Structure 1
Amino acid sequence: MALQRRALSVLAGLTPDVLELGERFARAGHELALVGGPVRDAFLGRVSADLDFATSATPDVTQEVLAGWGDAHWDIGKAFGTIGARRHARPARDGSPARPDVVVEVTTYRTDSYDPTSRKPEVVFGDTLEGDLSRRDFTVNAMAVRLPDLTFVDPFDGLADLARRRLRTPVTAEQSFDDDPLRMMRAARFAAQLGFDVAPEVHEALHAMAERITIVSAERVRDELTKLLLAPAPRAGLEVLVESGLADHVLPELPALRLEIDEHHRHKDVYEHSLIVLEQAIDLETGTHEQPTGPVPGPDLVLRLAALLHDIGKPPTRRFEPGGGVSFHHHEVVGAKMVARRLKALRFDKETVRAVARLTELHLRFHGYGDGGWTDSAVRRYVTDAGPLLERLHRLTRSDCTTRNRRKAERLSFAYDDLENRIAELREKEEVARIRPDLDGEQIMAVLGLGPGPVVGKAYRYLLELRMEHGPRSPEEAEAALRAWWEQQQG
């Protein structure tokens, strides 16, 4: 079988350090097996950077064995049966380049389960590899390779499911998801990462048990959602979240985009539009997963979140206007606030929350550029308002065009090309990205005879506005404008 040949090729390349580790556990009278993702990836022809092992040894015994094998070890996961270790790079005996560091995590055979009212798993240690594998999330992750003899263990036909690119659970899906509800998020994530289909019985359990995800901590949900969005094809995973009802609990703004389209089709399906925008934004990321280059190296979480969520302000702002039109006035402002609330609830870091909310707020700013012709001051303001998010805003705005009208799409693309060219010209002339007032705070205080205070800030903002509107001025011109402004303030 091609999959087996591929796996043998990958497993044969396991570092001797790993085989030695298996021998050490065997000498101590215990089993050791490579489990989960590394085994699955071997059959997919990929070398996994994470080396996860299961053992019959207790955490204390595991710690003793790893202390003798590695140069460093840690027990931060000991309460869950996991001990980690690192063996530093060693020069090869034949004089070839040194092998890289080897980092392993070894976990005692176990089963995780949740108390119905608890957010934390209760850990119960087991005594067999097959029992441990039965409590894995999916059959494709319930395969193992015993060490050091490299015996393949597959009690739940994970290899067959891998060949069919299908997600099934080793036990009933209801029992699996009841043991750890986060596995429901993983089903969506694996659909995005691996391109696997969810088996019908698994999808039924997802739908029936979706509400149980609410007992899982926001941080764990966030981490799974992040992995899903950074996958090569996040759309597939997002569709699993929405169709199963999971999104109703973890990202309710997404299914809310499935607005009912009225009989005259006066607006787009916003949900479908958002998924297309996400796909188009991914296409505009620079570089690859392996070699990220350029101004927005992919995968870029901020850009992908903004592309997915930029229109979440539309449902609450939708209005049917007299004459048959539909409007979404100020949906970008409303949406920015909604984005910030949702990402904070999911415990995203402050920088990510601010960036995604700001892109949502700015995503309509470009519209109208091709109609009215912006002044240089409008272009400067666009760049200044975007700040360090400018390159992402470029890509979000371009991705937001999903019209099937080729002429309209070409017109929008041409207009944005023109805007980017004008930005480049202005940047060359006056370094627009670093625009500052013509007088700094110290100079303002000297001209007006003031000490530090809010008035100086107000004067600074006035001069910045003047600079944005009219471009650079000489110090003398700026001082004269400042004095004139100050006289008006005094009057």
Structure 2
Amino acid sequence: MENVASAIQRLSELAESTPIARLSAAFETAGFELALVGGPVRDAFLDRRLTDLDFTTNALPDQILQIVKPLSSAHWDIGRAFGTIGAIIDGEQVEITTYRTDAYDGETRKPVVEFGDSLEADLVRRDFTVNSMALRLPSKVLVDPSGGVEDLLARRLRTPSSPQVSFGDDPLRMMRAARFTSQLGFTISASTAVAMGELADRIAIVSVERVADELGKLLKTSAPRAGLEVLVDSGLAEFVLPELPALKLQIDEHFHHKDVYQHSLTVLDQAIELERSRNPDSPPDLTLRLAALLHDIGKPATKRTEAGGVVTFHHHDVVGAKLAKKRLKELRYDNETVAAVSTLIELHLRFFGYTEGAWTDSAVRRYVRDAGPLLERLHILTRADVTTRNRRKADRLAFAYDDLEERIAVLSEEEELAAIRPDLDGEQIMAILGLRPGREVGEAYRYLLELRLEEGSLGTDVATERLQAWWASRPS
């Protein structure tokens, strides 16, 4: 029980910190209960960094406001309808919520908010036992009505009440279970897993925005694979991201030892590893991770069996880009993310032509131009897409990509590749050809851009001569 003693010590030290001590003293003086609850209590047992400070109390929202106003440099009541008041106290953000005993109508996940008068009753309505513990303040007494400590020590996810009731009330909790398997490294109890399978279709009553937000949180964990497998194995993915389980039956023509589903999860693993090594100080890249997970979703629709039993997936990159765009739009991801993910998927096979023969400088320029600001993500995705167990093949592909990146670096230094533009802009084109803004200016611009990609920078004088010759040769 060394972990328990250590956690209690951490919680005790936390309770004595300035903001919490001031807050708990103020509530005690006012005659109300206060307890630190949920994530910080759980994370103390897991030796994780303590971040959000969430409290619960028997004080009503107006009474909470009255207590925190003198202590805080700022406060807000945006969650007042749900009993929550937020504040900044001694530089720390805190949220304090009145005890609740919510009721659900079975049609939506929005509860009818009812305030309660018992800490224990408030705790058992929460999602998982490991999040249903509290530290009473200022007495520093641990309250654990559902056996959360035992589940923490067993690294197990279990609901405080019947999982059928808990998930029936709020189906989003099933996706949170998937996320916690990745975020905390926990496993889901057998009864909880059974309930997830039985109630997977209930996720349909949750708004797509909340589903997408929870999926994004899962993908941004340090190891999302376990949580994604929970989504697929439980049947939740059929309603949230059906393209993912659809990959399980597809055999990848390049990687015969794995189906495309396992290959995609491995690509995601490797993309995250590369992301960390290449950009160690950057936050998790959701765009890259979505692209890695979905890069092969065009394969089911493009699968063909050729003569001799060879399986092909021609143009799955183009088809996959369209499918990803459609799915992400349905999940209400922002336009920038949708466009970036679909572009990365469409481009993810481009490099493999490089290994078949040396690219010309113009081909390298086109690769950079088409990737645009996504080039670094494309580097990572393309490298991560190599999951072959054939060491010689893997090394050959890695060396080839090293060579491509080196050529890009050299050309970039010489030509400012990241912002390839024609030698003449639109204003110059109109002045040289005597044109007004319109379609013909666009055609001339594209002609000069092709020259720039094929031949590099020509300079203003040569570009002008070539433009005039092109214009004169056009059919009248």
**TM-score, length-scaled by structure 2:** 0.96
Match of residue 123 from structure 2: 133
Question: Which string of whole-angstrom CA distances, capped at 9 and with x for unpartnered residues, describes residues 60-88 of structure 1?
Answer: 2112112222122111111111111112x
Match of 1:166 in 2: 156
C-alpha separation in 1, matches of 2:52 and 2:390: 47
CA distance in 2, matches of 1:149, 1:250: 44
What residue is the counterpart of 1:222 in the other structure?
Answer: 212
- 1:2 alignment counterpart: 2
Worse-matched range after superposition: 402-411 or 1-10? 1-10
Where does residue 237 of structure 2 map in the other structure?
247
| 323-332 vs 374-383, greater mean Cα deviation | 323-332
Aligned CA distance change for structure 1 residues 382 and 283 (closer, same or farther; 3 Å): same
1:120 CA drift (Å): 2.6
Secondary structure of the residue aligned to 1:73 is strand
1:263-412 superposed matches below 5 A: 268-286=258-276, 292-293=280-281, 297-412=282-397
**d(CA) in 2 for partners of 1:366, 1:282:** 20
Residue 435 of structure 2 is aligned to residue 433 of structure 1: no
SS at match of 1:156: coil
SS of 1:236's equivalent?
A: helix
CA distance in 1, matches of 2:12, 2:145: 22
Deviations 1:230-268 (A, max 9, x none): 111100100100000011111111111111559xx9684
Inter-CA distance 279–298: structure 2 relative to 1 (3 Å threshold): farther
* Aligned position for 2:106: 116
Preserved contact between residue 55 and residue 129 of structure 1 (Cα < 8 Å) = yes
CA contact (8 A) 2:250 2:261 kept: no
Relative distance call for 1:177 and 1:48 in structure 2 (3 A) is: same
Residue pair 1:113, 1:180 contacting (<8 A) in 2 also = no
Distance in 2 of aligned mates of 1:119 and 1:7 = 33
CA 1:427–1:207: 2 relative to 1, 3 Å:
same
The sequence identity of aligned pairs, in percent, is: 64
TM-score, with normalisation over the residues of structure 1? 0.93
Deviation readout 1:108-134 (Å, 9 max, x if unpaired): 111344323225332222210100110
Describe the SS at the equivalent of 2:300: helix
| Equivalences, count | 472
- Which amino acid in 2 is paired with 1:61? Q
CA distance in 2, matches of 1:279, 1:58: 46
Mapping 1:77-156, distance limit 5 Å: 77-87=79-89, 89=90, 101-156=91-146
**Corresponding residue for residue 195 of structure 2:** 205
How far is the alpha carbon of 1:435 from its aligned partner?
1.3
Work out the CA distance in 1 between the residues paired with 2:147 and 2:373.
50
Confirm or deny: 8 A CA contact 1:309 1:339 kept in the other structure.
Answer: yes
1:170-185 equivalences in 2 (<5 Å): 170-185=160-175
Please state whether the residue corresponding to 1:283 is helix, strand or coil: helix
Question: Counterpart amino acid of 1:2?
Answer: E
Deviates more, 1:318-327 or 1:369-378: 318-327
Cα deviation, 1:1-53, whole Å, max 9, x if unaligned, reads 22223213322332222122112112222111110001001111233221111
| TM superposition outliers: structure 1 runs of 4+ over 3 Å | 111-114, 265-268
- Segments of 5+ residues of structure 1 without an aligned counterpart are 90-100
Q: Which residue of 2 aligns with 1:41?
A: 43
Secondary structure at the residue paired with 2:70? helix
Q: Distance in 2 between matches of 1:303 and 1:319?
A: 28
Answer yes or no: is the 8 Å Cα contact 2:250–2:300 preserved in 1: no
- Contact persistence 2:178–2:218 (CA under 8 A): yes
Asked if 2 retains the 8 angstrom alpha-carbon contact of 1:266 and 1:325, the reply is no
In the other structure, the counterpart of 1:460 is: 445
Distance in 1 between residues matched to 2:165 and 2:44, nearest whole Å: 28
Could you tell me which residue of structure 2 aligns to residue 193 of structure 1? Answer: 183
State how far apart, in whole Å, the 2-side matches of 1:49 and 1:370 are: 47
- Asked if the contact 2:124–2:160 (Cα under 8 Å) also holds between the matched residues in 1, the reply is yes
Partner of 1:422: 407
RMSD: 1.7
Give 1:24's aligned residue.
26
Counterpart in the other structure of 1:236: 226
Q: Contact between 2:61 and 2:98, CA under 8 Å: does it hold in 1?
A: yes
Contact persistence 1:114–1:120 (CA under 8 A): yes
The whole-number CA distance in structure 2 between the counterparts of 1:150 and 1:261 is: 56
The one-letter amino acid of 2:13's match is G
Task: Report whether the alignment pairs 1:75 with 2:77.
Answer: yes
Aligned partners of 2:109 and 2:170 also within 8 Å? no
User: What's the CA shift string for 1:284-308, capped at 9, x where partnerless?
Assistant: 01359xx943xxx352111111110
The CA distance in 2 between the partners of 1:409 and 1:473, in whole Å, is 39
User: 1:111 and 1:256 mapped to 2: Cα distance?
Assistant: 40
Provide closer, same or farther for how the CA distance between residues 261 and 473 of structure 1 changes in structure 2, counting only shifts above 3 A.
Answer: closer
Unaligned runs of 5+ in 2: none
Q: Shift of the alpha carbon at 1:140?
A: 0.5
